[in-house]
Chain A
Amino acid sequence: MSNNNLIKGSLQTIILKLLEENDRMYGYEITQKVKELTEGEIKITEGALYPALHKLEAEGMLTTEIEQVDNRVRKYYSLTKDGQKEVSAKMSELQSFVGNLQRILDPEWKPGLA
């Protein structure tokens, strides 16, 4: 099943969270990390990833550094101070959304219950 539409809304949160845990990453590395963490269940498409990275960079959430790797230039992304603050805000927003979604799908469900 394609879950691209479900991922779209939380892509920025995923990127910010990964960068919080990994210090700095480049585009391809982010796609592979998501694939690895979800055992291939979630694949971030390049079509959505790069525009999201550029948007976060322009908003001052990410900073970039350029490094020479095997005769080519690689662009690494990392969190700025504003980005670090944004991670927790985005995470609680997403967690609250998932909780609400759970309540809609299963009205019997209560937070903390397995």
Chain B
Amino acid sequence: MRQLTDIELQEIRKAIMRKEISSAEILMEVYDHYISHLQEFSEEEFNEQLFELEQKFTYAYCHALQAKFNKEIRKELSSLQWQVLKKYFCFSKILYVIIFSFLAFQMSRFVTDQKEIAILMLSPLLILAGAHIFFLIKSHFRIKAIKKDFNTAGSLQSSLSYPFSEKLYLPGMMAYGIMWSAEWIFNSNPIANLAPSIAVIIFIILSIYVLTLLEVWQIKSKTALV
């Protein structure tokens, strides 16, 4: 095994850049594969071996690999969040959920007007908004170094970035729906009396969603580029 020269490394980066990979994870895995393989060969064999690699990692192959990976990531995030959620209802944690729900219901007794109900319902979204900003900044800095190495300002980003952002936007969309129908819910007589209870249920669901999502992010940030 030998150390590749700067010119050789530059050649590898150029070859990989031509594939227009947008997933940072795939790009780094292909790059590591190229280097690990080419380090096994002498300088004289470099071009021939690089050509061989190019026959295996074609543009079409890399894009198919990337598309499959992005699809798998979505599945993985959902299943991970579901696993985390299930843990909340296991014997050791259920007590915390019950106490939290009890306190939330107690809090709802002090809610009197429509504005307070809206604040109660949507307060978990503030944590989500803060987490999203932190997520974007952290992801940006992790990808920045790779972008610099490959001398690209293009659309390179972690494959987890889009699915994660979608999951972060989802309760926002839900909140919009709630606000849109709030007037109807809280002004129609039979439901108006139940408004604080409905609000607290939405608050608990949103809080659990936010907490599970943050836990998933914490798990994935150890192993991915986010």
Contact = CB atoms under 8 A, between A and B. Distances in A.
Size class of the contact patch on chain B: 20 to 34
Question: Could you tell me the dominant secondary structure of chain B's interface residues?
Answer: helix
A54 B69 contact: yes
Interface string B80-111: 10010000000000000000000000000000
A50 B29 contact: yes
A56 B3 CA distance: 32
Given A58-B72, A65-B222, A72 B33 contact: no
B57 A69 contact: no
A64 B83 CA distance: 18
A73 interface: yes
Contacts of B37: 28
Nearest to B71: A58
Nearest to B40: A32
A60 interface: yes
Nearest to A53: B29
B224 A46 contact: no
Given A50-B65, A73-B32, A57 B76 contact: yes
Contacts of B36: 26, 28-29
Top-9 shortest CB links A-B? A58-B72, A28-B36, A58-B76, A73-B28, A64-B223, A28-B33, A54-B69, A74-B32, A54-B72
Given A26-B36, A45-B56, A71-B149, 11 more contacts: A57-B72, A58-B72, A58-B73, A60-B79, A64-B223, A64-B224, A70-B3, A72-B31, A72-B32, A73-B225, A74-B32
